[in-house]
Amino acid sequence: MEDFYREGRKRFKVLMDGDKPIGGKWNFDKQNRKPPQDALDPPPALWFEPDPITQAVIDQVKAQDVGYGAIEPFRWGVTRQQALTVLNYFVSQRLPTFGPYQDAMITGEETLWHSLISPYLNLGPLQPMEVIEAAQKAYFDQELGLNSVEGFIRQVMGWREYIRGVYHVMDDEYAQKNWFNHTEPLPSFYWDSSKTDLNCLHQTLAQVERTGYAHHIQRLMILGNFALIVGVSPQAIDAWFQAAFVDAYDWVMLPNVIGMGQFADGGILASKPMRLQLTMSIK
Ligand SMILES: Cc1cc2nc3c(=O)[nH]c(=O)nc-3n(C[C@H](O)[C@H](O)[C@H](O)COP(=O)(O)OP(=O)(O)OC[C@H]3O[C@@H](n4cnc5c(N)ncnc54)[C@H](O)[C@@H]3O)c2cc1C
């Protein structure tokens, strides 16, 4: 990912000073990854009231027997304008502190300083490059810390694009990979958070039921990691993620779950041949 990301920074001239990265380094992670503290006070998430079309869809869904998750309140944006409002809110209120706590988890803090833009990027109301440019502009105009701005741009220009490349380079069998031969069924509490007393799982699963969202560390370290250590079939946990999340798409879910979360691809996601193949296909 690192090689791929640096190529992107150079090619699109993002946070560059000639052919060198602004600040002299590609990565400021040493200033990030701060341990969570009880006294953290992130700005509240920005949500919307449903418009009449959204309300009509909510009513239609309520009439079906969906059987999982809270249908109301539904508070995601549904228009380009709302998606832009979320982006602008993130850049002004959350981006300044995004870096230090991007890997933190705190009970009761569901979104911390994360952007909540993945559904808008994946469905189309936001374009990746405009998101990157908005963050870069804030670095220059508001003199934000490079650790936060670079850390965020790395997520979109690095991780998101890399994952998309991985999906397109892999063959159809990628979805069936099972390196550890894990065969346990998915615990039933993934479909009903009230059925587990394990607090971190209970909290995160209840949040997903209410919002269809969990931030990256919750997905990786709690929801994915538990499935990995109890030997759940990678295909079973992937099917659950695909059903439960508001930003789910095959191209982004599969490498994240099968590769990053479950190591079911045996390390292909991070291997040297994969890096070479991706770099070649992009050039
Ligand atoms: C098991 C697992 C499943 C995941 N499933 C999905 C999914 O179905 N859809 C999805 O969009 N993301 C998925 N991700 C990646 C990441 O967790 C989400 O993109 C992120 O949590 C969305 O929240 P945010 O917009 O607040 O992100 P932020 O933390 O604010 O990050 C900004 C943006 O960076 C991008 N990004 C960051 N990390 C990744 C990544 N690993 N892969 C792709 N994009 C990334 C996303 O577009 C995200 O919106 C998954 C990660 C894991 C570990």
User: What number is the average pLDDT over the span 217-246?
Assistant: 97
The CA-based diameter of the chain, rounded to the nearest angstrom, is 58
Tell me the CA distances in angstroms from 66 to 40, 60, 62, 63, one per residue in order: 37, 11, 8, 9
Residue 95 contacts residue 149 (beta carbons within 8 Å): yes
Is residue 283 pLDDT above 80, yes or no?
no
Least confident interval from 37-41, 42-46, 227-231:
37-41
Q: Which domains does the chain have, with CATH numbers?
A: 2-169 (1.25.40.80), 172-282 (1.10.579.10)
Q: What is the pLDDT of residue 267?
A: 87
Q: Rounded CA gap, 123 and 274, in Å?
A: 27
pLDDT per residue as tens digits for the range 235-275: 999 999 999 999 999 999 999 999 999 999 998 876 555 55
Is residue 7 pLDDT above 90, yes or no?
yes
Q: How does residue 65 score in pLDDT terms, banded at 50, 70 and 90?
A: confident
Is residue 38 pLDDT above 80, yes or no?
no
Distance from Cα 50 to the centre of ligand 1, integer Å: 24
Closest protein CA for atom 29 of ligand 1: 114
Ligand 1 pocket, residues with Cβ under 6 angstroms: 114-118, 121-122, 155-156, 159-160, 163, 215-216, 219-220, 224, 241, 245, 247-249, 252-253, 256-257, 260-261
Closest CA to 74 of 88, 92, 53: 53
